[in-house]
Structure 1
């Protein structure tokens, strides 16, 4: 055993001995106002690229000790094979994090739930509601609606050009309208919900506490939306579930489920459309392929964008059910295991050219949508949106380019679980040549 590991093990044993017979305070993640700086590198990037520290950690070991927060040991998984193993292992790990909410009473909206932070059998029961709605056959019914929304967004870009913020008029607009129509929600809440969507993944200001508060606010909104539809179900997914199985699920369960669908289908897709366009302005051959390529070529571009950008930087945290060994690390019961999806997607052991956008990488089984029990249920819907929106953009505006040389104007987020760019000024057509 290396000396460093031996010292770490001795420290943990000494701490346990000193704590015998003493009560352990209940950790409360909602009080964590600042994430220690040395723990933040899995959530930081230079432009669209993870910071070098992430690759350095993976080169050292596929599983490393990230640090300790609130008395919890945190392990970081950066290797591709190791990430798949952890994400698929629901026996060794739990996704339920209610034990980190402290001891004070919580409102319904403050409770942790939805698919991402729920274990079987509750997870199985809730996912069973959504899975039939997100099969390829069922999603085919959305093709016409998505095409209409994309065309509207392209018209809006053109009307606001020739220089326009692509995030506001395209990246945000398309997935927001798609998910609103899918759920059957009114669109007059977009500004409020846009802010909540960004805030719940942003830990740069108030740490986990700020993200938790924003999540509670968005769940409150959706729980109320479910309650409003109890008496008059709408035409979307919420109304359909209420009509067919409403008696089997309460408002909080359905609100949490709608919250997961909304945020999973909106914020991540908005990020992919905005950052994907940024990458494509630097990749003219790939952009041309979207404009004139066949379906296989288009899908190749989309899959490499997904691997390369991976907007969800880390998977939902896993909590060790028992002491166990994890690829050379001793993990104790209750420890937190964080899987870096962006790190796993750039593992050189499985990706030929991991740090580059390169269509030769497209055959890699990327983990952008997760893996295992908690793999994103809306993965195929996301692909549909990306194909329709980016091919539409390439065909309507073949000469699209960045409208600035200053990357500071692009508004890349500083520290966010879902990474994105908040501003993307683009020029829709070449500037007229003065004569």
Structure 2
């Protein structure tokens, strides 16, 4: 604790990927906490299920428009996550059609094909194998690459840049700025190429919206593509990795293989109990307000912890226990309100395909090392093991 009574946030996860015990205990005592953020500034941490839903749903009291003085990345890419209506609604409407339930369902056979190919390669060379490099990362990169029609040869560079971009403390501000500049330069080249030779991909659709109806500015176009690259692979990759930590030891894969539990239900419990998002959501109070009895002044920064909210015992029974058969695995991993993740259906399709394929082909898949030996990503908005050796 600091002299002012605030706790530093974020804090390192436990070896199993759970929140730090001290932070978890404090959050259960007080769903709204005073914290010291990554930059050393004071902020509020909202950790209760009901309180998180309240903040994310109430646009009259809380804004997602980023304060440039807090984060230099704001405003540089016109990201939807940092916008309020009507700007957010306008941009989201342009993208949401690409992630409709009908389109995602049509993509499932292709996702299944990609997963099958990756598992073929993994089983041919193992066990053991690193789940991150064999499956978790290449799958969502391949999927978002197809949606945006980005060459496979460029996937590695995009991942390197995005990994730096989502850093909170793992990289310096100079490194973050450099990565953002390199990614923006790549996107500018991609837009020029696609503008000259349009295709049937989402980048071309956004360019047509930009050029045909002037529905979004050039910076909004670049920012939307950047967001799609980031959200389209980072969160899903880390969710698959975190699933690999618990699926085998919990017996979930064998339960799916034997028909006792649907793969989709297991996915929801993975998303709840193993949310890769520690604090990827930021808000600011628009007005003086009270939340859970705590006075928050206009302009004060708020960290919204989806991970802590998913573990709130006031909202669910035994929240710390990973239970593949849990019938009420409701969670906030995809957010809530107007900023509910537009790629949620795609992420669910990828995760469900992975769980189904592993249950069918490798029901004995499990970590090849003790969980205490796993090295987790630190100082970032998203957390998962950097590598996950598995056997079967």
TM-score norm. by structure 1 comes to 0.82
Q: 1:420 aligns with which of 358, 374, 384?
A: 384
Paired residue secondary structure (1:415)? coil
Is 2:16–2:371's contact at 8 Å kept on the other side of the alignment?
A: no
Which aligned pairs between 1:181-192 and structure 2 lie closer than 5 A?
181-192=146-157
- Cα deviations by residue, 1:318-376 (Å, 9 ceiling, x for unpaired): 01112222222211121001111110000001110111101354414210000001110
Match of 1:374 in 2: 339
Structure 1 residue 290: Cα displacement: 2.8
Match of 2:190 in 1: 225
- What count of residue pairs does the alignment treat as equivalent? 387
CA distance in 2, matches of 1:208, 1:327: 34
User: CA 1:68 to 1:121, structure 2 compared with 1: closer, same or farther past 3 Å?
Assistant: same
CA distance in 2, matches of 1:233, 1:109: 29
CA distance in 2, matches of 1:180, 1:174: 10
Q: Is 1:254 aligned with 2:221?
A: yes
CA distance in 1, matches of 2:102, 2:136: 26
Structure 1 residue 181: Cα displacement: 0.2
Match of 1:28 in 2: none
Structure 1 residue 209: Cα displacement: 5.9
Which aligned pairs between 1:376-395 and structure 2 lie closer than 5 A?
376-395=341-360
Is 2:310–2:333's contact at 8 Å kept on the other side of the alignment?
A: yes
Paired residue secondary structure (1:99)? coil
Match of 1:281 in 2: 248
Paired residue secondary structure (1:50)? coil
Structure 1 residue 314: Cα displacement: 1.7
Structure 1 residue 213: Cα displacement: 4.6
User: CA 1:136 to 1:70, structure 2 compared with 1: closer, same or farther past 3 Å?
Assistant: closer
Return the index of the structure with the highest Cα Rg.
1
Structure 1 residue 77: Cα displacement: 0.7
CA distance in 2, matches of 1:418, 1:368: 11
Q: 1:56 aligns with which of 3, 17, 25?
A: 25
Which deviates the most, 324-333 or 335-344? 324-333
TM-score norm. by structure 2 comes to 0.91
User: CA 1:319 to 1:374, structure 2 compared with 1: closer, same or farther past 3 Å?
Assistant: same
Structure 1 residue 283: Cα displacement: 1.3
Structure 1 residue 383: Cα displacement: 0.3
Is 2:64–2:282's contact at 8 Å kept on the other side of the alignment?
A: yes
- Cα deviations by residue, 1:51-102 (Å, 9 ceiling, x for unpaired): 1122222222111111378795411111100110001111112211143269
CA distance in 1, matches of 2:308, 2:203: 35
Is 2:68–2:75's contact at 8 Å kept on the other side of the alignment?
A: no
Q: Is 1:119 aligned with 2:88?
A: no
Structure 1 residue 280: Cα displacement: 0.9
Which aligned pairs between 1:126-165 and structure 2 lie closer than 5 A?
126-165=91-130
Is 1:157–1:169's contact at 8 Å kept on the other side of the alignment?
A: yes
Structure 1 residue 210: Cα displacement: 4.4
Match of 2:53 in 1: 84
- Cα deviations by residue, 1:254-278 (Å, 9 ceiling, x for unpaired): 2211111121120110011111012
Is 1:42–1:340's contact at 8 Å kept on the other side of the alignment?
A: no
5+ residue gaps, structure 2, are: none
Match of 1:266 in 2: 233
Paired residue secondary structure (1:312)? coil
Is 1:42–1:313's contact at 8 Å kept on the other side of the alignment?
A: no
Is 2:31–2:48's contact at 8 Å kept on the other side of the alignment?
A: yes
CA distance in 2, matches of 1:160, 1:91: 55
CA distance in 2, matches of 1:215, 1:313: 22
Match of 1:171 in 2: 136
5+ residue gaps, structure 1, are: 1-7, 9-36, 429-435
User: CA 1:146 to 1:70, structure 2 compared with 1: closer, same or farther past 3 Å?
Assistant: closer
- Cα deviations by residue, 1:111-164 (Å, 9 ceiling, x for unpaired): 142211112221111000112221211222211211111111111212221221
Instruction: Quote the RMSD (CA, aligned, Å).
Output: 2.6
- Cα deviations by residue, 1:299-326 (Å, 9 ceiling, x for unpaired): 2111000000111112421011122222
- Cα deviations by residue, 1:404-423 (Å, 9 ceiling, x for unpaired): 23632x32112321011111
CA distance in 1, matches of 2:200, 2:352: 26
Which deviates the most, 381-390 or 134-143? 134-143
